Amino acid sequence: MVAGTSWAVLALALPRRHDIVGALAMLALLGFLAGGREPVLFACMFIAVALLELYGTYMGTWEWAPAWPGVNVPMGNPPTGAAAGYVAFDALALRLGPCLERIAAQKPWVSTKSTTSASLPSAIEMQVSAQP
């Protein structure tokens, strides 16, 4: 996370497109890492998303807006803390998933049964049953 924090500080100080949004998001990410239940997962997500963002913007596949829409706060391309958004979504899903499942279980019209790999025939079972 030292690398991510250094990236955020440099993105504030050096470029002509200052990355205030990225720096704020990086602070949030550091909070997730310090107080979260899954810091290793979040750190790995940061690395994966940061590499993807850097590659995608470098190749010209996408480009981030120069400012956060509606509030005109400048951000980089990509914002240094873009990965924090993905971490926040996943942290929210990990937190809300069990709650939503409990709520759905109380509603008779909502099916909480999912098809898992345990209920599907494996490739080996399908090959064995297909042989004469």
Give pLDDT, residue 119.
54
Q: Give the number of other Cβ atoms within 10 Å of residue 10's Cβ.
A: 13
Burial annotation 38-73 (CB, 10 A radius, 16+ → b, else e): eeebbbebbeebbeebeeebeeeeeebeeeeeeeee
HEC per residue, 25-39: HHHHHHHHHHHCCCH
pLDDT tens digits along 112-126: 565 555 555 555 555
Of 21, 130, 127, 37, nearest in space to 84 by CA? 21
Give pLDDT, residue 45.
85
CA atoms within 13 Å, Cβ hemisphere of 84 = 21
pLDDT tens digits along 48-59: 988 999 899 999
CA–CA dist 4, 74 (Å, integer): 18
Give pLDDT, residue 56.
93
Largest CA distance in the chain: 70
As to burial, measured by CB atoms within 10 angstroms (0-12 exposed, 13-18 middle, 19+ buried), residue 121 is exposed
pLDDT tens digits along 14-62: 767 788 888 888 888 888 788 877 788 888 888 898 899 989 999 999 9
